Amino acid sequence: MKLSDVERIILINQSRILAILDPDSAKSHELAAEALEGGYEGAYTWHLPSFDPEVLSAEECSETLNILTMFLVLKRTYDELEDKSGIDSREIEYEGFDGNNDKQHGFCFFLEKEGKFKDLNITRNSHSQGTLPMYRRMLAAWERCRDISSLAREDLQRILRARTGS
């Protein structure tokens, strides 16, 4: 993680203040300050366990919101269909992101705290690296629909075919 000199000075000062305010963790805070002072980038996060140097870009956040919105629309569309024949209800279910490999999974916990997407189990862990590519295929098909907020049966079927790449 690259930090500017100003950012390092701010974090050094914060670490030193935390060492005083939190005597039980003073050693860890002092070591964090020392790593920052020395410019040891690889050690920055050793004493900042809740800090994740990997970021989810604004574009990735937007994509995640679009994926979750798409699943709400898919569910609503399916629920409103009179003729559900040929459509597997399990295919419209949101499976979650992979908790080990997808930064979007952590973002979903943040969104849940924000009270977003209450109708989906957004913090579900898919335990599969294949969900994000699948969601992206589905999202591309969804975005080609004439009205993404009100899907026709054919739209729903096309999006579900994109799920498997067929």
Here the CATH number for the domain that contains residue 113 is 1.10.3190.10
Domain boundaries, position 12 = 5-47
Per-residue pLDDT, averaged over 66-85, amounts to 95
My answer on whether 74 and 154 are in the same domain is yes
My answer on whether 119 and 70 are in the same domain is yes
My answer on whether 32 and 66 are in the same domain is no
Which one is predicted more confidently, 95 or 52? 95
52: three-class secondary structure by DSSP: coil
Q: What distance in Å separates the CA atoms of residue 108 and residue 122, rounded to the nearest whole number?
A: 6
pLDDT at 105 over 70: yes
My answer on whether 23 and 82 are in the same domain is no
My answer on whether 97 and 159 are in the same domain is yes
- 124 part of a folded domain: yes
My answer on whether 64 and 88 are in the same domain is yes
Instruction: Output the pLDDT for position 66.
Output: 97
- 52 part of a folded domain: no
- 116 part of a folded domain: yes
**pTM for this predicted structure:** 0.76
Instruction: Output the pLDDT for position 41.
Output: 83
My answer on whether 89 and 130 are in the same domain is yes
**How many domains are there within the chain?**
2
C-alpha count within 13 angstroms, C-beta hemisphere, residue 124: 14
pLDDT at 54 over 90: no
pLDDT at 71 over 80: yes
Q: What distance in Å separates the CA atoms of residue 101 and residue 111, rounded to the nearest whole number?
A: 18
My answer on whether 133 and 101 are in the same domain is yes
